[in-house]
Structure 1
């Protein structure tokens, strides 16, 4: 592969280690690197999920993100906290503000609340070698905010991210170049360790005899494109460390977007009726965002995970409809159809809905046999406008006021957790 004409910038990706736990440690004058700390969703729920755990919590007590509160041993050294999402967001914004002292805002891409990409290209005359500048920023964040971090650097966003995930999270700092791809990237396996490859794609690639990133880099591009389309092309070039994304663009191919919502229920939902209530609220939220973005979609997906006491794991199923839509009730009816077909009566604890296979809303065609379609489209946008102006709970369906409804309670949360 000839890398001569490919981007060769000075980009680093910084990740705040166990961010929620680090924030709570900072707030309570604790050392996150020596104190066992766990941030859990709620003290009221024994099955509440651990959102973050400090290194000593992971090493000494084997408690990490995803464990349940009841799994945490009772020990005097352990500190438990509920999340303070407003504080976490404020801390994230302050960290970004500090980084902006070194580069202009357009050189910063906030990837998540605890992770950002920064382009240091052209700052050499101001701050010196980019790798030293990145490490200086890393030290200052720890000294100012008490938040430890890991930094990966690379000539593009992809290699910076890979250097972070595969190297720097163990060492604190790592810089990769195109020359490092054969030695550091190609040996990676299983394939799900590679950024952008999930378990399903890994299984599909394994079926083709591809088990490592090196196997992927040396596979037949035509075969990959024939089977996976544009995603096959992307995975092939990612295996060579190639990424043409500009800072600020997502690290995915343009057009590969979707709208979805996942929700962890605060108790087991045992009946179809209860689950259907939450599904209607979730479809309402997904379709509101779809309408605001100006899209319609054809493929609707429903996922349900059962509680730990269930005999099965749940399901994740999709249906593609003929006419693209952004109507709440259309999505809801498909979700109910999938629920009736695959629900096994086990207690549900987590739900997810998603709309994919998108196209612009203007592509909707008139339906001579559905005279009310235009009215429903106008009604949907009108309801969206009212909620935008007066708040998400200013207009609610009656089911949201039942015991199974979650919309009113979740409106008081930030990012699904306590503010």
Structure 2
């Protein structure tokens, strides 16, 4: 008698949504100033060194884009009205929107203040087809918050994100699994997740301008030109992406950066800023119970050319001394700089909870330093308004102690956590 084979149950096709709020900062401002709807609007700080945080679609028609220098945006759209940002308001409404998402599904991955992935697989029986759920999300966000959003739905995260991008503004695009490759292979290669300007130039130099052409290119050729990233892009071109929606995202790096009020040529001033940023980052590492085994430095020159350098540490650290020393070393190894510096940033990378708050160094000097930093943390917690930090960063009263007021001082922007 032949043994009966056990039939494996078929896996339920995933239904993943990428929800992206449209021109979020602008739309939140319009909640309080509806008379401005239809006008060319830019959300940015008013200073000359500011960048565009958000722009209305009317201003975008003139070429204005997020992260563009405000001065350039004013040139492109001289009639645009500049609105000061209200970050606390954006965060408050964002939290309410994320809470709403949790009523649709308990699997929500927040990507930023205005976008998230939702796993809708388990919600189909309760709420209907993917298209019905997507339409419901768009309708209820409009009804509850008075805000527009765009929804992309697919069985792959990166395809859902591409779909929402293609459906903007205030639209929805559903890509069924059976049409996954048809959709992907119809796209220009620059639409693929992970293809930036430089990568696109390399691919186009090979005659690859569409995702279909990328999929049909031999993997060994892509590896020779782009390394491991080439093989990864080819897999994406075939729809190979099994990543799940992550309800809790582990921090991969913690960084901070500053844009100077005036371009800086002084190496001493750059070292001072590295020290300031290193203390800010180290305090956040300790507060999160994380240690870093990598440090990177970012410089942006006057003409906006940007470069990064990184280094690996011999042991995980939470010490500002170690972070500062390695970041300063990266700066020094660059040698003579061709232009003054507009922006400088420091980032702690390859984070882990191994050792937690335990300092893993056997260097007594570093151990003494981390003890001192822990004392600074305790003082800051008890006296939040106190100016506590390295003596070299303290200035006498009347000598430019306010950030952004003295020559060469930064405008003060935290690069945040990834």
Q: TM-score, normalised by structure 2?
A: 0.78
CA distance in 2 between partners of 1:229 and 1:186 (Å): 22
CA distance in 2 between partners of 1:227 and 1:384 (Å): 47
Match runs of 1:94-133 below 5 Å: 94-103=96-105, 106-133=106-133
Please name the residue that 1:16 is paired with: 21
Query: Quick one: structure 1 residues 366 and 141, their matched pair in 2 at CA, closer, same or farther if it must change by over 3 Å?
Result: closer
Cα shift readout 1:14-58 (whole Å, capped 9, x = no counterpart): 1111111111112111364x22111112x2x22322211101112
CA distance in 2 between partners of 1:355 and 1:205 (Å): 31
Secondary structure of the structure 2 residue equivalent to 1:35? coil
Query: Quick one: structure 1 residues 6 and 279, their matched pair in 2 at CA, closer, same or farther if it must change by over 3 Å?
Result: farther
Q: Structure 1 stretch 17-26 or stretch 320-329: which is displaced more?
A: 320-329
Query: Quick one: structure 1 residues 331 and 99, their matched pair in 2 at CA, closer, same or farther if it must change by over 3 Å?
Result: closer
Query: Quick one: structure 1 residues 82 and 199, their matched pair in 2 at CA, closer, same or farther if it must change by over 3 Å?
Result: same
Please name the residue that 1:89 is paired with: 91
Conservation of the 8 A alpha-carbon contact between 1:400 and 1:407: no
Match runs of 1:47-62 below 5 Å: 47-59=49-61, 61-62=62-63
Conservation of the 8 A alpha-carbon contact between 2:188 and 2:209: yes
Match runs of 1:304-315 below 5 Å: 304-308=299-303, 313-315=305-307
Alignment RMSD? 4.1
Cα shift readout 1:238-283 (whole Å, capped 9, x = no counterpart): 33323333322589xx8x9333223333333342222222221211
CA distance in 2 between partners of 1:156 and 1:214 (Å): 17
Conservation of the 8 A alpha-carbon contact between 1:399 and 1:405: no
Please name the residue that 1:337 is paired with: 329
Shift of 1:404: 7.5
Conservation of the 8 A alpha-carbon contact between 1:37 and 1:53: yes
Shift of 1:152: 0.3
Shift of 1:111: 1.4
Shift of 1:303: 1.4
Within the candidate set 304, 310, 316, 1:318 is matched to 310
Secondary structure of the structure 1 residue equivalent to 2:168? helix
Secondary structure of the structure 1 residue equivalent to 2:82? strand
Which structure has the larger Rg?
2
Conservation of the 8 A alpha-carbon contact between 2:20 and 2:115: yes
2:376 is aligned with 1:383: yes
Shift of 1:321: 4.4
Q: Structure 1 stretch 209-218 or stretch 107-116: which is displaced more?
A: 209-218
2:351 is aligned with 1:346: no
Please name the residue that 1:25 is paired with: 30
Please name the residue that 1:161 is paired with: 161
Q: Structure 1 stretch 265-274 or stretch 199-208: which is displaced more?
A: 199-208
Shift of 1:306: 2.0
Q: Tell me how many residue pairs correspond in the alignment.
A: 397
2:242 is aligned with 1:244: yes
Cα shift readout 1:81-107 (whole Å, capped 9, x = no counterpart): 11000111112123233334433xx32
Cα shift readout 1:366-398 (whole Å, capped 9, x = no counterpart): 64xx33343334444443454455548653223
Question: Any unmatched runs of 5+ in structure 2?
Answer: 1-8
Conservation of the 8 A alpha-carbon contact between 2:63 and 2:76: no
Query: Quick one: structure 1 residues 130 and 289, their matched pair in 2 at CA, closer, same or farther if it must change by over 3 Å?
Result: same
CA distance in 2 between partners of 1:189 and 1:204 (Å): 14
Match runs of 1:275-314 below 5 Å: 275-308=270-303, 313-314=305-306
Query: Quick one: structure 1 residues 341 and 180, their matched pair in 2 at CA, closer, same or farther if it must change by over 3 Å?
Result: same
Conservation of the 8 A alpha-carbon contact between 2:295 and 2:347: yes
Conservation of the 8 A alpha-carbon contact between 2:257 and 2:414: no
Conservation of the 8 A alpha-carbon contact between 1:281 and 1:407: no
Match runs of 1:129-208 below 5 Å: 129-165=129-165, 167-169=166-168, 172-191=171-190, 193-199=191-197
Question: Any unmatched runs of 5+ in structure 1?
Answer: none
Q: TM-score, normalised by structure 1?
A: 0.78
Conservation of the 8 A alpha-carbon contact between 1:53 and 1:65: yes
CA distance in 2 between partners of 1:293 and 1:407 (Å): 28
Secondary structure of the structure 1 residue equivalent to 2:311? strand
Secondary structure of the structure 2 residue equivalent to 1:395? coil
Shift of 1:164: 1.4
